[in-house]
Amino acid sequence: MSCPICERATDPQYRPFCSKRCADVDLAKWLTGSYAIPAAPEEQADDEDFQGLEKPH
């Protein structure tokens, strides 16, 4: 298995990465939004969905 960041052989201590540096680079990409999990766009809510929400309890 090769490191997804630099393509070198992985180190069992940092698997699936080869080093702490590559693991940190990957984490930084997630935290800054460079990676994103694709999702379907949300549907627009109809007014019917909100009926009764503004009534006092």
**Binding-site entries for Zn(2+):** 3, 6, 18, 22
Q: Residue positions in the annotated binding site?
A: 3, 6, 18, 22
Is 11 within 8 Å of 17 (Cβ atoms)?
yes
Helices assigned H by DSSP within 1-57: 20-31
